[in-house]
């Protein structure tokens, strides 16, 4: 019986010693893991895209773009005619991801702000079933800072997203190998139209301009890996 009493008494002495030693015990709360929004709705996939851009997470955006993804720019050619696709680009999807990878690997800082309330509408393109295809137009404020003197750009205007439900989307083969499959609860981006407004000189790798289009901003980063 004496030994039975000693065990809790020793534990109590240990607790008193800890309290009386004057030592501060700090409880460390782990930082919450920041997860991107789920691509479970038309608005969700657009929010996830913006999250990937802001976090320079190319893998997240890679997992959102269909195999037949198109990026339609708002630039003009040398004659002043509309130039609706990146010039001399055989694979737009690869170009787009390469530009984002160059942005990630650069010493610049970039940010994208879209509308808080993203409203999907039926896809206006001919032959698109509104059950599987939606479009979302959002105002966009994209900003970038560069280490060079006066290296600041601002992109304003709209971005128009065309999104496809997962059971109707062209899923890239390499993503299928990673477990992606047709899924009605997941949405993909199959087309992005640049409706931003640019002004001033064209952005170059040596001299960023003050205000450009989103397409030119991407092309600037792409030029960093091709020059």
Tens digit of each residue's pLDDT (9 = 90 or more) over 182-213: 999 999 999 999 999 865 444 554 555 556 78
Buried b (16+ CB within 10 A) or exposed e, 170-185: ebbeebeeeebeeeee
Given the structure tokens 């479009």, which residue do they identify? 135
**DSSP state for residue 97 in the 8-state scheme:** H
Tell me the β-bridge partners of 211.
154, 199
Tell me the β-bridge partners of 197.
156
- Tokens in use for 116? 């808080």
Q: Is 87 helix (H, G, I), strand (E, B) or coil?
A: coil
Tell me the β-bridge partners of 114.
140
What is the pLDDT at residue 200?
Answer: 47
Q: Are residues 66 and 170 in contact, defined by beta-carbon separation less than 8 angstroms? A: yes
CATH code of the domain occupying 39-226: 3.10.450.50
For 37, residues 6+ apart whose C-beta sits below 8 A from its C-beta are 44, 47, 48, 51
Tens digit of each residue's pLDDT (9 = 90 or more) over 51-75: 999 999 999 999 999 999 999 986 5
Structure pTM? 0.79
More confident residue, 27 or 18: 27
What is the pLDDT at residue 53?
Answer: 97
**Domain segments of the chain as ranges:** 39-226
More confident residue, 90 or 131: 131
């Amino acid at each position: 019986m004496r030994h039975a009493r000693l065990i809790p008494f020793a534990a109590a002495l240990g607790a008193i010693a800890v309290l009386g030693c004057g030592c501060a015990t700090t409880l460390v709360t782990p930082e919450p893991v920041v997860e991107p929004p789920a691509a479970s709705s038309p608005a969700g996939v657009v929010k996830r895209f913006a999250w990937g851009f802001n976090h320079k997470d190319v893998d997240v955006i890679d997992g959102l773009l269909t195999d037949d993804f198109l990026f339609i720019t708002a630039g003009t050619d040398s004659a002043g005619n509309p130039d609706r696709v990146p010039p001399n680009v055989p694979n737009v999807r690869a170009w787009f991801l390469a530009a984002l990878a160059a942005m990630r690997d650069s010493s610049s800082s970039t940010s994208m702000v879209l509308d808080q309330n993203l409203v999907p509408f039926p896809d206006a393109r001919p032959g698109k079933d509104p059950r599987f295809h939606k479009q979302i137009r959002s105002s966009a404020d994209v900003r970038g800072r560069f280490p060079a003197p006066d290296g600041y750009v601002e992109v304003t205007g709209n971005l128009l997203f065309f999104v496809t439900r997962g059971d109707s989307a062209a899923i890239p083969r390499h993503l299928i190998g990673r477990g992606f499959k047709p899924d009605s609860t997941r949405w993909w981006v199959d087309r992005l139209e640049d409706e931003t407004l640019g002004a001033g000189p064209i952005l170059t790798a040596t001299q960023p301009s003050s205000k450009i289009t989103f397409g030119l901003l991407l092309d600037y980063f792409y030029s960093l890996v091709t020059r």
